[in-house]
Every structure is written in C-alpha cells, then in structure tokens.
C-alpha cells in the first residue's frame, strides 16, 4: 500500500446542496421530476474539476448516507406489493455499498468548485464521492 | 449510526476473475476489445443477485485497487502529449475515490453467485463493490 488511508475507506470530495430535505421527498430517479441542485466540491479537490464546463454531462457518484447496508432483498421502488428482489437487480439505496449513480448536466460553475446541476434526486447533505464524464457512444453511454 | 462498520468503509462483495493480469494489458474502456470475465460474488451477498438473469445489462461498480488516490490532474488516456486535465473530467482510475463503472451484459450464472460477463476491462483480482441494473430510457440509460 502506497496510500495513507486504509484500503476501502472513501474520502468524500464534496456535498450536495438541495431543496430535497427529507427522503420521502426524493424522486426514485433523476428523470422523475428531480430538481436542480448545487454540488460543493471541497477546495482540496477543486483541481480535479479542470476540464468540466457548463453543458458537460457527467455521472455523479454519491454515498447514500442514510441507506441500510445489511439488506440484500427489497421491494422494488419501495412498493410492498411488488415481490422481493435482490438489491443488485434494483437501484435501491439500501445495499451493501450504498453508492449512488446520477447522470446529470452541469449548468453553471462558480468559484471553480460550486457546480449547479440538473436533475438530481439525492438528498440535501449527500456526500459526493466522484464525478466522471459521460462517455460518447450509444451502447456504452453511461 | 445504525451500522457496525464505520461510515465510508466499503465492503467488497466479490472479485473479478479475468485473463487480464497486468495493468498494461487492460483496454481503457470495455468497448475497446475487453474480454469476457467471471464475477465471483461472496456467498454472504449472493441473495442480492436474485432477479439478475442471463441477458441482463448491468453497471458493475469496482474498486481500482491499484490506483493512485492522491492525483487530481492526469494526461487523458495516459498519453503524455495530451494536456493535463482534472481527474473528474476523465475516466482515469487514478482519482480520490477509485471507483470504476463498467457497463456489461450478464451471459451466464452458475451456482447462484458466479456471473460470466462481457466486456470487462478490469484487472484480474479487482474487488467488486456493487451491481446495478441499467435503467430503461435513452438519455438516462446508464
């Protein structure tokens, strides 16, 4: 190990600021009416944003900090009438590693570390783990 | 905290078995000629696979265990002639949280916890963090 941190320990690089203050207010997916939000990237990591501009489509990687990690089967979309299903076949936030993926557009950048984005269904205060560009190409377009 | 683990500590749920044994053998992206691979999901997490079948398209989430985490700017695609760029504008494995996203198809499932998949550019021995279904819909298709 050449790292200071132990393996498998995540370092949040920023935080979500959103009007979504309660889990029950969050749409299941960004495309289901999710609002704009601001991503505040910590000053220590702002250099990593070089090359991202308004109009860039990115995959935001978050940590669902309120998720339950000891769950392996869920009712899809929280509907108790839907049969239980393995978490890896769903997008439930409840899963062993509650990593969230959100495809969104960067609308504006301020002070080189604040990003206005849309749409984002994540809760206010959600930790940001990573940002990746959407790759060109149809089938692998994620 | 209702969790046993400290926050932000990942738990690998499986491992990649691949013919790709060295970093220099790995394509930059799955679509660039990456081979089939096997995912071995730990028995403790196999119940989470319920609902995944051959033909399912998934996003595999991995941990780039050989990545450098203290890097904020890289030469895209490792080409020293390309100007330095922020890691969040690239898919470089070197980044603060070296989380990898791989879109692939499940080809076969054995013993309810071995998945043959294609294409996968990740190195043999790469830890698996999560599996998510690809969501239907064109623009948000990831």
Tell me if residue A58 falls in helix, strand or coil.
strand
pLDDT of B106 = 98
Q: How far apart are CA B87 and CA B93, in angstroms?
A: 9
pLDDT of A28 = 87
Say whether residue B77 is in contact with chain A using an 8 A CB cutoff: no
Across chain B, mean pLDDT equals 91
The residue count of chain A comes to 142
pLDDT at A62 over 90: yes
Say whether residue A29 is in contact with chain B using an 8 A CB cutoff: yes
Cβ distance A91 to B45 less than 8 Å, yes or no, reads no
Chain A window 113-142: which residues touch B at a Cβ cutoff of 8 Å?
A: 127, 129-135, 137, 139-142
Compute the nearest-CA separation of A86 from chain B (Å): 4
Q: Percent of chain B having pLDDT more than 90?
A: 79
Tell me if residue A125 falls in helix, strand or coil.
coil
pLDDT tens profile B37-60:
999 999 999 999 999 999 999 999
Find the mean pLDDT for residues B101-130: 97
Q: Which two tokens stand for residue B114?
A: 């071995």
B16-54 CB burial, b ≥16 within 10 A, e <16: bebebeeeeebeebbeeebeebbbbbeeebbbbbbbbee
Cβ distance A142 to B72 less than 8 Å, yes or no, reads no
pLDDT tens profile A93-137:
999 999 999 999 999 999 999 999 999 999 999 999 999 999 875
Task: For residue A111, report the phi and psi dihedrals to the nearest 5 degrees.
Answer: 50, 25
Find the mean pLDDT for residues B24-46: 92
How many Å from the N-terminal Cα to the C-terminal Cα in chain B?
31
ipTM for this model: 0.91
pLDDT tens profile B63-76:
999 999 999 999 98
Find the mean pLDDT for residues B4-8: 67
pLDDT of A36 = 97
Tell me if residue A74 falls in helix, strand or coil.
strand
pLDDT tens profile A21-42:
998 888 888 888 899 999 999 9
CA nearest neighbour of A63 among A114, A125, A134, A132: A125
pTM, two decimal places: 0.92
pLDDT of A138 = 41
């Amino acid at each position: 190990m050449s790292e200071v941190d132990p393996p498998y320990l995540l370092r949040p690089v920023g935080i979500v600021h959103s009007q979504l203050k309660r889990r029950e207010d969050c749409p299941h997916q960004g495309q289901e009416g999710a609002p704009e939000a601001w991503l505040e990237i910590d000053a220590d990591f702002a250099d990593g944003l070089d090359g991202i501009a308004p109009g860039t489509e990115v995959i935001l990687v978050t940590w669902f900090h309120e998720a339950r990690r000891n769950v392996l089967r869920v009712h899809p979309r929280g509907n108790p009438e839907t049969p239980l299903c393995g978490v890896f076949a769903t997008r439930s936030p409840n899963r062993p590693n509650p990593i969230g993926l959100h495809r969104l557009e960067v609308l504006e950048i301020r002070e080189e570390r604040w990003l206005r984005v849309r749409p984002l269904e994540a809760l206010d205060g959600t930790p940001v783990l990573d940002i990746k560009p959407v790759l060109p190409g149809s089938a692998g377009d994620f």
